[in-house]
Structure 1
Amino acid sequence: MKLVVRIVLGAALVVLLAYAGVFGYIYVNQRALQYSPAGPVVALADTALSGAEEVAIASGDGTINGWYQPPQAGRPVILYFKGNAGSFSEEHVRFEQFAAAGYGFLAFDYRGFPLSPGSISQDNILQDGTSAFDWLEQQGFPIVIWGRSLGSGPSTYVASVRDARALLIEAGFHSAVTVANERYPFLPVGLAMQDQYPVSLWIATVTEPVMVAHGTADITIGVSNGERLFALAPNPDEIWIEPGAGHDDLWARGIWARAEAFFSRAMAGP
């Protein structure tokens, strides 16, 4: 009997040590696991953007670098918050479409991503977002905000502390810790996660009209995240749930046409 007890206790100790090792690894390497900053950079000269310019905006102890193009008369400028992977410049097709429709835009890399040197953290990304908004506001055009994936965090935060005309959340999360809990249900990630992005709290004070877009086949950020966010928005305008769309499919599925209609409604409102 004593042998059996020893075997059981030994096995339990091995499991406990393995669990602690996994948790310890995730804790120490959490930002490397959470963010994917590496990726190629597309030169502005290699795009179809003839009216855009490179800009450098002071943020905290560093600088964020991006592209800016003013809008045509009667159109707003889109403050675009990129997703988690690589550089914003890889999404130049989107900015080309914005410009072709007469919209202005400001897109940039957060500090620690390819075009903006520095370290990655929630505090830095939120500061980069407010710095970008404040710089853009000085240009004198009405601002609408678009946040994609990771960008749903800073975009919602900025909309909660600054006055824009609209907020569009594409494939966003209820909170980063919600997504982490879905991926690691066996670990107490909420106790150790440094960058939690509580979007569900920030959206409660967003007075701008809100549109949420999400795909039902999104395995990166489950569709329930978008549905719950929309339910929390004080000024909800539209929720678009696209059947069968994955995390990166919404542009090809026609989000721009829906975004244009949403921005037009927001600009026509009080």
Structure 2
Amino acid sequence: MKLLRRLLLAAAVILVIGYAAVVGYMYFNQRALQYVADGPITALADTTLTAAEEVAIPSGGGVVSGWYEAPKPGKPLIIYYRGNSGSFSAEHERFEQFVADGYGFLSFDYRGFPMSPGSLSQQGILDDATAAFDWAAGKGFPILIWGRSLGSGPATYVASIREAEALLLETPFLSAVTVAGERYPYLPVALVMQDQFPVNQWILDVDEPVLVAHGTADVVVGVSNGERVYDLVKNKDELWIEPGAGHGDLWDRGIWGHAVPFFERAMAE
């Protein structure tokens, strides 16, 4: 019996030490685990955006780099807050469609992503997002905010503290810590996660009309996140749930066909 107790005690100690080691690793490496900041940069010259320009927007003692094109007369400007993978420039197909339909756009890499040097943090992303909005607002056009995945965090934050015409959230999370908790239920993520992006709190202060889009087959950010975000929206416009769509499928599944009438409704208010 004594031997058995010693073996059980030793096993318990090993489990505790192992668990503490996993938590410690997650804490000290959490931003490397949370963000996917590497990836190729698409040159503006390699797109059909012949009238767009490269811009450098001051933010937090540094600059964020992006692309900008003014809208056609009478049209608004879309600020596109990109997701958590590589450079925004990889999504040039979206910007080409915006421009083809007369919309202007501004998109950029947060500091720490390929086109914008710096270190990554929630505060840095929010500062960059706000600086980009203020830079765009200075152009004098009506502004539409579009946030995708990670970008739903800064997009919602900016909409909560600035005035825009509309907010579109594509595959949003209720909060980043909610997603982490769903993915790692055995870890105390709420206690150790620094960049929690509480969309569930920021959305309560958003007065703009809101469209939320999500896919039922999203395994990166579960569809219930989008549904729960929409439940908290004050000025509801549309909740579009696309059956069978994954995290990166909504553009090909027709989100632009939902975005345009949504933007037109918002501009008509």
TM-score by length of 1: 0.99
Matching residue's letter, 2:10? G
**1:113-150: CA deviations, max 9, x gaps?**
00001110000000000000000000000000000000
**1:153-206: CA deviations, max 9, x gaps?**
000000000000000000010000000001110011100000000000000000
Say which SS state the counterpart of residue 3 (structure 2) adopts: helix
**1:200 matched residue in structure 2:** 200
Matching residue's letter, 2:74? G
**1:31 matched residue in structure 2:** 31
**1:56-87: CA deviations, max 9, x gaps?**
10001110000000001121100000000000
Q: Matched residues in 1 for 2:260 and 2:73: separation? A: 15
Q: Report matched runs for 1:1-270 at 5 Å.
A: 1-269=1-269
**1:73-104: CA deviations, max 9, x gaps?**
12110000000000000000000000000000
Alignment RMSD: 0.5
TM-score by length of 2: 0.99
Matching residue's letter, 2:176? A
Say which SS state the counterpart of residue 218 (structure 1) adopts: coil
Matching residue's letter, 2:222? G
Matching residue's letter, 1:30? Q
Say which SS state the counterpart of residue 50 (structure 1) adopts: coil
Q: Matched residues in 2 for 1:51 and 1:80: separation? A: 18
Q: Matched residues in 2 for 1:51 and 1:96: separation? A: 11
Q: Matched residues in 1 for 2:112 and 2:30: separation? A: 15
Which consecutive aligned stretches of 4+ in structure 1 deviate over 2 angstroms post-superposition? none
**Unpaired stretches in structure 2, ≥5 consecutive residues:** none
**Unpaired stretches in structure 1, ≥5 consecutive residues:** none
Matching residue's letter, 1:111? R
Say which SS state the counterpart of residue 57 (structure 2) adopts: strand
Matching residue's letter, 1:136? A
Q: Matched residues in 2 for 1:212 and 1:175: separation? A: 15
Overall identity of the aligned pairs, in %: 66
Matching residue's letter, 2:268? A
Q: CA deviation at 1:2?
A: 1.2
Q: Matched residues in 2 for 1:183 and 1:23: separation? A: 14
Say which SS state the counterpart of residue 219 (structure 1) adopts: coil
